[in-house]
Each structure stands twice: as C-alpha cells, then as structure tokens.
C-alpha cells in the first residue's frame, strides 16, 4: 500500500540510494511514477507493505516502509535492490557506489571520493560543520530532523 512520503510515521524504516550524478528533470518525471508503482506493489511474504518512495535533492532515491504495520523481509528487501538495479540500467546511473560522499556546499550537492576526504579536510574545504548527506540514516524521523547533518555529527566525526 502506497503512503505519501510526507505522511510516513517517524519510525518508518528508510533505505537511501545515492545517484552517481544528478538526475535530470526528465528522468525524475519518468522515475517518480515507477517509484510510486513499486511502493504500491511492494510486499513481504504476500502481505503489502505500507511503503513510500521519493527522490530528494535530484540525487537521492529513498525507499521507506512503516515497519510497525508490516516489517520488510529479506526477500522484500531483495526485491527493492533489484528494482533499484533496474533503474540503474535504464538510466545509466549508479546507486550503489558507497565510495562517494555527498556534501551540501553552496546549495549544491558535491560528491567527494572517500579516498580524497582527508585532503579536503586538510585544505579546510570540509570541516565538522559541513553538511553531509548520510546515507546510513535509517528512519524517516531522523531524515526529517537531521538530513543533511553536520559531518562532525556523523560517522565522519573521526576525520575532525
């Protein structure tokens, strides 16, 4: 069962996939109905999930499920990964490259390779207050309250 993203409960579970490039307006207009259809049909052991999906900041695909209604099973999570892989193929974009970190700088999402992070910190281009899009956020409430969050308040804190 599809739930509008803005109506998710705070405890809804999230999976955030970061695109390797910004999605164009045309791509987003094609992808949004695919996301809604996937969320509508997404199920766990034959039981429909209370799910939603959204594109944020032209780059982040977010899938969500109200776990209090029905928990996502391993098989249903596998279905979501397959769906995201299909989008990758169709739009020639990667959603699974975890070596790229996304920061908000000058109102733009900027990707920095993990191997380059120390250099950017040393140069003062990234500091503990730089806003970071932490794809490890797991609940809708956390997304609403602290996303993006200061890098120093994330797992990146060890770099500062």
Q: What is the pLDDT of residues 25-40, one digit of tens each?
A: 999 999 999 999 999 9
Total structural domains within the chain = 2
Residues 84 and 122 in one domain: no
Residues 65 and 111 in one domain: no
At 9, is the pLDDT very low, low, confident or very high (cuts 50, 70, 90)? Answer: very high
Residues 75 and 130 in one domain: no
Rounded to the nearest angstrom, the gap between the alpha carbon of residue 132 and the centroid of all alpha carbons in its chain is 12
Instruction: Give percent above pLDDT 90 in the chain.
Output: 84
Cis amide linkage into residue 107, ω under 30° from 0: no
Residues 49 and 108 in one domain: no
Give ∠ CA 131-135-37 in degrees, rounded to 5: 125
Mean pLDDT for 75-88 is 93
Task: Tell whether 142 is covered by a domain.
Answer: no
Is the pLDDT at 67 greater than 90? The verdict is no
Domain hosting 116: range is: 100-135+148-159
The length of the chain is 160
Task: Tell whether 64 is covered by a domain.
Answer: yes
Rounded to the nearest angstrom, the gap between the alpha carbon of residue 45 and the centroid of all alpha carbons in its chain is 24
Residues 62 and 107 in one domain: no
pLDDT given at position 45: 79
Structure tokens at 85: 């892989």
Residues 87 and 106 in one domain: no
Is the pLDDT at 104 greater than 90? The verdict is yes
Is the entire prediction scored with pTM above 0.85? yes
Task: Tell whether 22 is covered by a domain.
Answer: yes
At 61, is the pLDDT very low, low, confident or very high (cuts 50, 70, 90)? Answer: very high
Residues 66 and 33 in one domain: yes
Residues 152 and 87 in one domain: no
Is the pLDDT at 71 greater than 80? The verdict is no
pLDDT given at position 69: 80
Beta bridge partners of 62: 16, 54
What ranges in the chain are assigned the alpha helix state H? 25-41, 74-91, 117-122, 140-145
- 3-class DSSP state for residue 40? helix
Residues 108 and 83 in one domain: no
CB atoms within 10 A of CB 53: 25
Task: Tell whether 143 is covered by a domain.
Answer: no
Q: What CA–CA distances, in Å, run from 140 to 12, 14, 21, 99?
A: 5, 6, 24, 24
Residues 17 and 69 in one domain: yes
Task: Tell whether 140 is covered by a domain.
Answer: no
At 87, is the pLDDT very low, low, confident or very high (cuts 50, 70, 90)? Answer: very high
Mean pLDDT for 86-115 is 95
Is the pLDDT at 68 greater than 80? The verdict is yes
Residues 116 and 86 in one domain: no
At 136, is the pLDDT very low, low, confident or very high (cuts 50, 70, 90)? Answer: very high
Residues 57 and 21 in one domain: yes
């Amino acid at each position: 069962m599809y739930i509008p993203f803005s109506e998710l409960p705070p405890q809804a579970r999230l999976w955030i996939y970061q695109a390797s490039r910004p999605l164009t307006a045309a791509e987003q207009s094609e992808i949004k109905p695919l996301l809604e259809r996937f969320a509508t049909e997404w199920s766990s052991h034959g039981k429909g999930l209370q799910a939603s999906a959204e594109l944020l900041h032209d780059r982040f695909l977010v899938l969500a499920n109200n776990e209090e209604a029905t928990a996502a099973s391993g098989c249903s999570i596998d279905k979501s990964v397959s769906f995201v892989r299909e989008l990758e193929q169709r739009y020639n974009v990667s959603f699974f490259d975890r070596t790229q970190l996304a920061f908000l700088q000058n109102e733009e999402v900027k990707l920095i390779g993990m191997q380059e992070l120390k250099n950017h910190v040393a140069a003062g281009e990234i500091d503990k207050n730089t806003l970071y899009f932490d794809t490890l956020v797991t609940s809708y409430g956390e997304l609403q309250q602290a996303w993006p969050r200061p890098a120093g308040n994330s797992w990146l804190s060890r770099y500062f």
